[in-house]
């Protein structure tokens, strides 16, 4: 079974990734807590590349990283790559977002997720990007998920991410859509490098 280091310190993200990768011949572990990667990229894909590559090189293992965030049209694409740094807690980040939007009528937004897989030498082997369009509500709805989920409304399903059952969110979310693109590539990669189930 191939060890695959997840370039995050967030157990929530690890759990989400594990759910997507059920049945794949790889074992996910969190990156070492002392290993910090500075996210200096200007796009989600650049940051995913940086994280996957640096964690792979530091650990000598295959690594997977994602970078995701929220782009709001009326805020010129903000918070964008700074989504996680928009406040000290989920509540603060949501409050800042709603304050900055105020009574703005254009609430169009999208969640974007970029995923990269790096070889032990840091070379990027795979990449994928997924987008989920939606709108920002004026107040929070739902108790599930994390981050901006309670204010991100998906008109197609008439639910916020925080109101969605886990299986639905897995399917329609930006991460779900990116994983849908990545999974066939990852299956092939694992078959190529571990034909008998050995890394």
Kindly tell me if the per-residue pLDDT of 88 is higher than 90: yes
Is the pLDDT confidence value at 29 over 80?
Answer: yes
Is residue 103 marked as binding? no
Alpha-carbon span 6 to 52, nearest angstrom? 8
Lowest-confidence region among 15-29, 48-62, 88-102, 121-135: 15-29
Q: What is the CATH number of domain 2-193?
A: 3.90.950.10
Return the minimum-mean-pLDDT range out of 34-48, 101-115, 120-134. Answer: 34-48
Q: Which of 10-24, 32-46, 49-63 has the highest mean pLDDT?
A: 49-63
Contact 28, 86 (CB under 8 A): no
Residue 146 has a CB neighbour count (10 Å cut-off) of 13
What distance in Å separates the CA atoms of residue 12 and residue 145, rounded to the nearest whole number? Answer: 9
Residue 149 marked in a binding site: yes
Task: For the full predicted model, state whether its pTM sits above 0.85.
Answer: yes
Average pLDDT in the chain? 92
pLDDT band at 198, cuts 50/70/90? very low
Tell whether residue 67 is among the known ligand binding residues.
Answer: yes
Annotated binding residue at 188?
A: no
Reply yes or no on whether the pLDDT at 197 is more than 80: no
Dihedral of the alpha carbons of 58, 43, 163, 138, in degrees to the nearest 10? 140
Rounded-to-integer distance, Cα 75 and Cα 87, Å = 16
Q: Kindly list the catalytic residues.
A: 67
d(CA 21, CA 40): 28
Domain boundaries, the chain: 2-193
Which whole number is the average pLDDT over 1-20? 85
Higher-scoring residue by pLDDT: 25, 72 = 72
């Amino acid at each position: 079974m191939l060890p695959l280091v997840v370039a995050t310190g967030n157990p929530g993200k690890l759990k989400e990734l594990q759910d997507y990768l059920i049945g794949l011949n790889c074992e996910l572990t969190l990156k070492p807590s002392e290993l910090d990667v500075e996210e200096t990229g200007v796009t989600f894909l650049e940051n995913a590349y940086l994280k996957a590559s640096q964690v792979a090189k530091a650990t000598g293992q295959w690594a997977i990283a994602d970078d995701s965030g929220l782009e709001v049209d009326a805020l010129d694409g903000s918070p964008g790559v700074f989504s996680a740094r928009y406040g000290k807690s989920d509540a603060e980040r949501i409050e800042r977002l709603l304050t900055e939007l105020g009574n703005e009528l254009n609430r169009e937004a999208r969640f974007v997720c970029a995923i990269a897989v790096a070889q032990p030498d840091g070379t990027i082997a795979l990449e994928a990007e997924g987008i989920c369009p939606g709108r920002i509500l004026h107040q929070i709805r739902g108790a599930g998920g994390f981050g901006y989920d309670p204010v991100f409304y998906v008109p197609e399903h008439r639910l916020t991410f925080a109101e969605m059952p886990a299986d639905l969110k897995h399917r329609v979310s930006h991460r779900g859509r990116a994983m849908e693109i990545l999974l066939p590539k990852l299956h092939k990669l694992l078959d190529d490098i571990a034909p008998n189930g050995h890394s």
